[in-house]
A and B are shown apart, each in its own frame.
Chain A
Amino acid sequence: MREQVGLADLSYRAKFDTKTAPSRPFWPLGRNHFLIVGEPPLSPPSGATDVTSVYAELLLAGPSSTAVLSKLTSLNLSDAALPNLFCAQASLAHAHTIFLREDIGSIPGFRLLISREYAESAWEAIVHAGHEFHLQPFGLGALELLRN
């Protein structure tokens, strides 16, 4: 992951969808539309809809992650167009996806929220596209190691 690119399944994380700007950190999805993502347990802000089970969350991280994604989406993923801690929405492998750019230190990272029914198919497409970059699936252990 440090040198090439890795893919992890972080679907367990809690997600809430709301129309009013919450008082805690959020991702803006559009006018009057916000998303909260975090480690569970996470209490929902009032009026928010729990979408934890709606979205699978995949984490694609590593220097080649942009190259992998550019084979699957028309979204401009350059540092200028989607800097760290910015988000965007577009199709990825033909499924609607919310791209959350969240680098791990200096390693570029993309959290990909994909509607659950498409997630397995998207996972397969990412692994296939990542073949030329030696993409490896990784678990939470490796993620811990990377953070420290």
Chain B
Amino acid sequence: MKFRFHDKTIEAQPGDTVAAALYRSGQRIFSRSFKYHRPRGLLCVSGKCPNCLMNVDGIPNVRTCITPVHEGLRVKAQNAYPSLETDFLSVTQRFDWLMPVGWYYKTFTRPAMWHAVEPAIRKVAGLGEILPSGPREYEHAWMHAHTVVIGGGWAGMQAALAAAERGEQVVLIDDQVALGGQACYRKRMGPRPDAIIARIRAAANIRLLQNSYCFGLYEGNLLGVLQRAPHPGASERLIHLRAQQTVVASGAYEAPIVFPNNDLVGVMLSTGVLRLLHLHRVQAGKRAVVVGKSLQAGEVAEELRDGGIEIVAIVDPDTILKATGSSTVNGIQTRTGHFSCDLVVICGPRIPDNGFVAQAGGRIEWSEPQGAFLPTLPPSNVSAVGDASGEAVANTIAPLPTSKRAFVCLCSDVTSADLCDAVAEGFNHIETLKRYTTATMGPCQGRMCQLSAIGVCARETGRSIGETGMTTSRPPNPGVSLGALAGPKHHPLRRTPMHYAHQDLGVVWLDMGDWQRPRYYTDHLAASEEERVLLEYRAVREAAGLIDVSTLGKLDVRGADSGKLLDKVYTHRFSDLPPGRVRYALMCDEGGIILDDGTVSRISEDRYFVTTTSGNLDFVQQWLEWQICATGWDVHITNVTAGYGAMNLAGPKSRDTLRKLTECDLSSGSFPYMACREAKIKGIPAILLRIGFVGETGWEIHCPAESAEGLWRAILGAGHEFGVRPFGVATQRLLRLEKRHVIVGVDTDALTNPYEADMAWAVKLDKKEFIGKTLLAHAAKDRSRERLVGFVLQSPGVPEDGAAVVVDGQPAGRVTSARYSPAQLAAVGLAWVKTSLAQDGVFIDLRVNGELLKAKVTMKPFYDPEGVRLRQ
């Protein structure tokens, strides 16, 4: 297998990670540090530190030490220019005296100063950059399990097998290259647990998620899991995993020891060296100094010797003065002498990885004998096992010398001297110390530095480690890419039954929530929206137009108590509505505030057909269901929105058009305005409502969805000789505005009552009881609030929706809708004004394009004010 590292081709062996292959090829520097651009090499080799972050296939900040190689991968270093080996910005470390801890806050105290340096700082700050790359697919998935085990080491595998034997559904999550945890790279753990791994793989009720990591344990035992490369078609999959029991078996990881130059390339954690050796057959160096307490260090030294690495010395951390070397380590200076070497192996403290227990609400407390923070009192559905629980962990805390070259936090180059300075400046609480210095806040999320930072804080403040305490563990940790959180690109779409007929007609779509609705139609692209809308407008006013209104919410309400329910939720009366009639319906809440409007048609004695606005259907249905909760009323509400295609044919020629397709008598004598009938059109069963949102003779036709496209085409065909055209929402908005019809949610807001909206006629206060009655009766007498009025602009121009109303130089309201009206030959619209101005003939000023223009208030429709046309 081969892959590219900049312009080099690197050979990889099967099972290699990117970092292992690079190391074998001789690469030693893997990154440049965040602040000082110091060279950094592999440290933990387990995905827990910031040192091996690179750009892999265009993705920044990838931990190369746990990224398996595949053919053709493109790998690049980041945060280094021109190269890892020579990084110009490494001069910054010479000026570290200029950049003490908190230097941002201290230096750029004036905005002008910050503005001057911001561009330069932006350029060098941050980690990695996003390179253009091929399209990337992210997936989401959901899983459910009885028991989830985080960590595929010895303890995790045992826990998974035990749960499986109890018959539970188990999910085992492992983020390492191979199952088995330490046993894969520590000889003292005995032979590789191949038998157990085989049993895990064979168990039918264990689901194994490899190459996956858990990034958070959330409320309700919800685990966020990220699976890398789940299949060739996807780069990442985010799994929402619900468990009843979570077993935290994430083990313990090793942390560095603090001494001057402890960040030199070639200073590695013992577990990192052993991983390279046993997992990848790579010797991290030839001559090694092992740093650690006698027993632990002795074991490591022996294993390394077996692996062919010469051990120069075993050094107690207490005696170390510093590591030597300029970029790569060349030796260790102790109190007794200097030891030359090309590798320093750190046997650091082992930190139980138990952040998940804390996230689940468990307490984490310091245990002096074990030298570790351990979970106490975990919640009943979470447990920690193995090293994560602290069993078999026994750390001696190494000294923490104060030095400007002893790095505590590798992610943001915070030294022990920096921490001491910060404590001296008063940041003596571990949480404020963290925020001020940014220690524990980098890509490693405190894994490498937390214990040392707490140690320094404790020493400097004269408190114990237990008193100093830990910073709070919060998900996500490790981080998750935004693409994975966002998930697949699928966006749900709601299509009306006439969707493809619109497409054939050259539709321009309008997105309304998930719905796609025709905005207007165009047969040649050169025409502007205004021109097309005018054409459609003229068709409706002079011949007839057909609009798809399938998005209207439609509810079938049946049962003996239906009238009673409708009387309760709407302000009008419906129990007395005769079959075959339609009535406008306005819905208010207990506060008398308008919720929705629509129509109610009585199809038969015990069956009503209710329409709602497109966006409020769910709300209205839920509102209706809520009102009948526990009442025992005989009402059955069914949402039939998707079952009916609906279209509105309107205009003087609509009767002539429809007559060609139906035997139903359409004359105003037998089918008057506000009547409804069930009839067949072109053989298709339909519900016809004689209503007129746009102010012309017209019918709203509802028919079974599967027949709707056919009916749509048939009506356009029949109307062709009269000049019937399809029209879209843009035209409908103009037509309705000329009739001064209010759109709930556009012209009204969350505080509008019907009196303010000039719709007193829709409220029947003499009705015995209905929702909102008390406060509506109150509002009917209240003249202090605003009113919604119509206006005609007195000069050319069209105010924008939301434009200000100005009276005597003061803002006095706002425009909610405005359009140029071909009927008035001027802009017309609706606006909120003080009640005193709500009279015919009053003049108000509107701000249009920065100018104040006069407009005349009217309380009547702008078109056919008497409503003659609609009743014809």
Q: Is B97 an interface residue (CB 8 A)?
A: no
Q: Is B231 an interface residue (CB 8 A)?
A: yes
Q: Is B806 an interface residue (CB 8 A)?
A: no
Contact of B556 among A49, A55, A75, A128 (CB under 8 A): A49
Q: List 15 A-B contacts (CB under 8 A).
A: A47-B558, A47-B636, A49-B556, A49-B640, A50-B643, A54-B641, A118-B494, A118-B642, A121-B493, A121-B495, A125-B490, A129-B139, A129-B488, A132-B231, A132-B234
Provide the residues of chain B in CB contact with A76, threshold 8 Å: 144, 242
Asked whether A81 and B144 contact (CB < 8 A) given A49-B558, A54-B640, A128-B490, the answer is yes
Contact with A along B723-750 (1 / 0, CB 8 A): 0000000000000000000000000000
**Tier of interface size on chain A:** 35 or more
Q: Is A13 an interface residue (CB 8 A)?
A: no
Cα-based distance from A148 to B493 in the complex (angstroms):
37
Provide the residues of chain A in CB contact with B233, threshold 8 Å: 131-132
Asked whether, in the complex, the Cβ of B490 is within 8 Å of the Cβ of A120, the reply is: no
Cα-based distance from A83 to B436 in the complex (angstroms):
55
Asked whether A94 and B492 contact (CB < 8 A) given A51-B638, A54-B639, A115-B642, the answer is yes
Cα-based distance from A125 to B514 in the complex (angstroms):
15
Asked whether, in the complex, the Cβ of B169 is within 8 Å of the Cβ of A78, the reply is: yes
Q: Is A53 an interface residue (CB 8 A)?
A: yes
Q: Is B105 an interface residue (CB 8 A)?
A: no
Asked whether, in the complex, the Cβ of B642 is within 8 Å of the Cβ of A117, the reply is: yes
Among B144, B169, B494, B643, which residue has the most Cβ atoms of chain A within 10 A?
B643
Contact of A17 among B230, B240, B638 (CB under 8 A): B638
Provide the residues of chain A in CB contact with B705, threshold 8 Å: 53-54, 116
Among A18, A53, A55, A131, which residue has the most Cβ atoms of chain B within 10 A?
A53
Provide the residues of chain A in CB contact with B639, threshold 8 Å: 54
Asked whether, in the complex, the Cβ of A71 is within 8 Å of the Cβ of B495, the reply is: no
Cα-based distance from A54 to B240 in the complex (angstroms):
31
B554-596 CB contacts (< 8 Å) to partner A: 556, 558-559
Asked whether A49 and B636 contact (CB < 8 A) given A78-B169, A131-B233, the answer is yes
Closest A residue to B607 using CB positions:
A49
Asked whether A117 and B638 contact (CB < 8 A) given A70-B141, A74-B240, the answer is no
Q: Is A2 an interface residue (CB 8 A)?
A: no
**Tier of interface size on chain B:** 35 or more
Cα-based distance from A70 to B636 in the complex (angstroms):
33
Asked whether A54 and B488 contact (CB < 8 A) given A78-B144, A117-B494, the answer is no
Provide the residues of chain B in CB contact with A125, threshold 8 Å: 488, 490, 492
The 9 lowest CB-CB distance pairs between A and B, nearest first, are: A54-B643, A116-B642, A53-B643, A94-B492, A117-B494, A49-B638, A76-B144, A121-B493, A74-B142
Cα-based distance from A132 to B232 in the complex (angstroms):
8
Q: Is B140 an interface residue (CB 8 A)?
A: yes
Q: Is B496 an interface residue (CB 8 A)?
A: yes
Provide the residues of chain B in CB contact with A93, threshold 8 Å: 490, 492
Asked whether, in the complex, the Cβ of A52 is within 8 Å of the Cβ of B494, the reply is: no
Contact with B along A60-82 (1 / 0, CB 8 A): 00000000001101111010110
Contact of A128 among B488, B494, B638 (CB under 8 A): B488
Asked whether, in the complex, the Cβ of B495 is within 8 Å of the Cβ of A120, the reply is: yes
Provide the residues of chain A in CB contact with B699, threshold 8 Å: none
Provide the residues of chain B in CB contact with A120, threshold 8 Å: 493, 495
Asked whether A55 and B636 contact (CB < 8 A) given A116-B705, A120-B495, the answer is no
B608-650 CB contacts (< 8 Å) to partner A: 636, 638-644
Closest B residue to A54 using CB positions:
B643
Asked whether, in the complex, the Cβ of A95 is within 8 Å of the Cβ of B644, the reply is: no
Q: Is B424 an interface residue (CB 8 A)?
A: no
Asked whether, in the complex, the Cβ of B644 is within 8 Å of the Cβ of A121, the reply is: no
Q: Is A124 an interface residue (CB 8 A)?
A: yes
| CB of B156, distance to nearest CB on chain A (Å) | 22
Contact with B along A74-105 (1 / 0, CB 8 A): 11101011000000000001110000000000
Asked whether A55 and B144 contact (CB < 8 A) given A19-B636, A118-B492, A132-B231, the answer is no
Cα-based distance from A34 to B240 in the complex (angstroms):
31
Cα-based distance from A80 to B144 in the complex (angstroms):
11
| CB of A135, distance to nearest CB on chain B (Å) | 12
What 10 new A-B contacts, CB under 8 Å, besides A47-B636, A49-B556, A128-B490?
A53-B705, A78-B169, A115-B641, A118-B494, A121-B490, A121-B493, A121-B495, A122-B492, A124-B490, A125-B488
Provide the residues of chain A in CB contact with B644, threshold 8 Å: 53
Cα-based distance from A76 to B242 in the complex (angstroms):
10
